[in-house]
């Protein structure tokens, strides 16, 4: 489709150069008298546009084996510039410039951002210049069970999760909600926005006071066993203990659901699922909450990919298949088959 449009544009430029083409009065030319303007003072005649049969025009575009017909009269090429063909040229140009120039470049950047969110270390809501990313805390012990459901960028030690939960009593333990930047910069009112960014959450948790090793809700025993508590309890109980960012992201996403900010109502509701009033910790419930939170991000990514498939098939792939291969796969009405379309779906 685009090659044909380019050929028509080339012909259009050629016709502009031939618009004032003149023939000498002694040149052999047979035209109806109504299409000739005799100019005796200059001894020349100017030919006007003469329609040519569709078969001859088709031979010209398809290389039908003869070249003398189109070039006996250059003005015959003007017959290609009908209203319909000009509209096709304009349509192809608009689609290429608007969607090809804007949509494709924007989609490339959006896909880079999506892949970075899914596989990268930074998930949004934090300042990478002021908070260096900690990929490993060198914690002993096993990894977080079923952590693959969170598709983290690195392994999440169970000890890192316990180091976070051991610093949280309730939703007020992770932030001073009434003094957040979103509250200070708001216009006031009875219900100002309380938005806790991911980076501020990490900073608050790392500097929070250690409250003790979490106990299993079902058995009452230390999570991970007494040996793990004796080995790692002193280290993670220190102020500003080293905690990996992947573990902090897992906790934050359990209530933020892919967002870069958290609100007190969501934190309170989700935290109550796995951190009980008596201080016990339900590890299985936490894993499920964290997986649900990350699933929102995964579902959003799949939806974005699906939208792109529909857009590209409707605007580019399906029209190309119709025009070049006479195959119709649906997806809109752009492009016409040369004959009968072979329908695949």
- Share of the chain residues as helix, strand and coil, in percent rounded to the nearest 5: 55, 10, 40
Helix (H) or strand (E) holding 58: helix 54-62
- The answer to whether the CB of 202 falls within 8 A of the CB of 268 is no
> pLDDT of the chain along its 345 residues, tens only?
444 444 444 444 444 444 443 334 344 444 444 444 444 444 433 333 444 454 554 454 444 444 444 444 445 444 544 555 566 556 666 666 665 666 677 788 888 878 877 776 666 667 655 678 898 999 999 999 999 888 888 899 999 999 999 999 999 999 999 999 888 887 766 788 999 999 899 999 999 999 999 999 989 999 999 999 999 999 999 988 999 999 999 999 999 988 889 999 999 999 999 998 888 999 999 999 999 998 888 888 889 899 888 888 887 888 888 888 888 888 877 777 777 788 876
Q: Of the candidates 60, 67, 75, which has an alpha carbon nearest to the alpha carbon of residue 18?
A: 75
Instruction: Give the separation between CA 183 and CA 300, rounded to whole angstroms.
Output: 29
Contacts of 240 (CB under 8 A, 6+ apart): 206, 207
Answer for the pair 15, 43: CB distance below 8 angstroms, yes or no.
Answer: no
119 and 125 Cβ atoms separated by less than 8 Å: no
Question: Which H/E stretch holds residue 122?
Answer: none
Q: Which residues contact 326 (CB under 8 A, 6 or more apart)?
A: 337, 338, 339, 340, 341, 342
Structure token digits, residue 171: 């939703």
Angle at 68 between CA 64 and CA 72, to 5 degrees: 135
pTM: 0.64
Determine the pLDDT at residue 101.
Answer: 63
Nearest by Cα to 142 from 241, 283, 290: 283
Q: How confident is the model at residue 255, as a pLDDT? A: 93
H or E segment at 321? Answer: helix 318-325
- Token code pair at residue 114: 């999506």
CA triple 22-27-30, angle to 5 deg = 95
Residue 76 has a pLDDT of 47
d(CA 266, CA 272) in angstroms, rounded, equals: 10
Contact predicate 256/297, CB 8 Å: no
As a whole number of angstroms, the distance between CA 269 and CA 271 comes to 6
Distances in Å between the Cα of 212 and the Cα atoms of 151, 172, 217, 228 are 29, 17, 14, 14
Rg of the Cα trace of the chain? 35
> Which are the contacts of 102, defined by CB distance < 8 A and separation ≥ 6?
none
CA nearest 168: which of 245, 262, 281, 257?
A: 281
Q: How buried is 15 (Cβ within 10 angstroms: 0-12 exposed, 13-18 middle, 19+ buried)?
A: middle
Separation CA 162–CA 272 (nearest Å): 16
Could you give the strand order of the β-sheet that contains 36-39, starting from the edge strand earlier in sequence?
23-24, 44-47, 36-39
Question: What single-letter DSSP state applies at residue 343?
Answer: E
């Amino acid at each position: 489709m685009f090659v044909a449009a380019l050929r028509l544009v080339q012909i259009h430029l050629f016709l502009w150069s031939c618009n004032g083409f003149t023939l000498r009065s002694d040149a052999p030319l047979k035209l109806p008298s109504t299409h000739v303007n005799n100019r005796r003072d200059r001894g020349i005649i100017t030919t006007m546009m003469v329609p040519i049969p569709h078969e001859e025009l088709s031979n010209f575009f398809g290389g039908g084996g003869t070249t003398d017909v189109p070039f006996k009269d250059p003005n015959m090429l003007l017959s290609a510039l009908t209203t319909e063909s000009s509209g096709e040229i304009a349509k192809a140009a608009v689609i290429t410039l608007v969607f090809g120039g804007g949509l494709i470049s924007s989609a490339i950047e959006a896909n880079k951002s999506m892949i970075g969110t899914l596989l990268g270390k930074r998930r949004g809501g934090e300042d990478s210049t002021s908070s260096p990313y900690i990929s490993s805390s060198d914690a002993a012990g096993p990894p977080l069970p079923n952590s693959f459901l969170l598709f983290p960028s690195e392994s999440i030690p169970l000890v890192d999760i316990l180091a976070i939960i051991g610093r949280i009593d309730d939703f007020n333990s992770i932030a001073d909600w009434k003094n957040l930047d979103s509250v200070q910069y708001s216009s006031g009112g009875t219900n100002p926005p309380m938005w806790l960014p991911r980076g501020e959450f990490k900073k608050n948790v790392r500097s929070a006071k250690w409250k003790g090793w979490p106990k299993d809700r079902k058995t009452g025993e230390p999570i991970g066993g007494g040996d793990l508590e004796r080995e790692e309890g002193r280290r993670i109980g220190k102020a500003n203990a080293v905690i990996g960012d992947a573990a902090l992201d897992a906790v934050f996403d359990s209530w933020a659901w892919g967002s870069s900010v958290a609100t007190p109502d969501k934190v309170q509701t989700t935290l109550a699922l796995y951190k009980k009033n008596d201080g016990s910790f339900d590890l299985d419930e936490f894993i499920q909450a964290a997986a649900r939170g990350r699933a929102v991000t995964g579902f959003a990514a799949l939806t974005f990919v699906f939208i792109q498939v529909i857009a590209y098939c409707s605007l580019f792939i399906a029209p190309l298949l119709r025009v070049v291969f006479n195959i119709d796969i649906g997806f809109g009405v752009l492009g016409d088959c040369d004959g009968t379309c072979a329908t695949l779906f």
